[in-house]
Amino acid sequence: MTLPPAIVRLRAAVENDRTAFDRLLARLARAEPSRPWAEEAPELYLVALTLEHYYTAAETVFERIARAFEGPPAPSPRWHQELLEGMTLEMSGIRPAVLRPETAVELRELLGFRHFLRHAYAVALRPGRLGELADLLRAVHRRLAEDLDAFDAHLASV
C-alpha cells in the first residue's frame, strides 16, 4: 500500500528536522570541554543559542504535525504552550499522541528558556543554570527521538 503524499512529505520533513537536532547536539558538545563555564564565557552564548535553536527545531516539528492533521495553530498569546500541550493528546481517529507527557514537561523547560533568552537581553547568563539545561537537552533528545520514532512508525502504518 502506498502512503498518501501528504504523509510521505511530512515524514521526510520531520526526518530532515531530526538531522538538525543531531547537529545542534554536536554543537553543544563543542562547548562542553570548558565546563564549568566562567561568568561571561563565550561558550555560554553558544550553549544558550543552541538550547534556543533546539527548541525552535522541535517546535517546527510539532507545528508541521499539527498543520498536517489539525490545521494551523490558533492565534493565541499562548500558542507555543498550547502547541506543545497538544502534542501529548491522542486525537481519536486523527492521530495518536506525539509526545509522552514527561517529554513535554522537559520540553516546557526549554520553551521557557527560549522565551527568557528572546526577551531578557540585558540579563547575564548563569553558568550553573545553563549547565542544567544542557544536561536536560541531552535527556530530552533521547526521549524526543523515541517519541518521534513511535509516531513515525504509526505514520508508516497508515
Cβ–Cβ < 8 Å for 28, 37: no
Provide mean pLDDT across the span 24-46.
Answer: 84
Q: How many domains does the chain have?
A: 1
Query: What is the DSSP secondary structure assignment for residue 52, as one 8-state letter?
Result: H
pLDDT at 2 over 90: no
Asked if 144 and 75 touch (Cβ cutoff 8 Å), the reply is: no
Q: Is the pLDDT of residue 31 over 70?
A: yes
| Residue type present at position 102 | E
pLDDT above 70 for 1: no
Q: Is 17 exposed, middle or buried (0-12, 13-18, 19+ CB in 10 A)?
A: middle
| pTM score above 0.85 | yes
Residue 19, domain CATH? 1.20.120.580
Residue 138 pLDDT exceeds 70: yes
Structural domain span for residue 63: 5-156
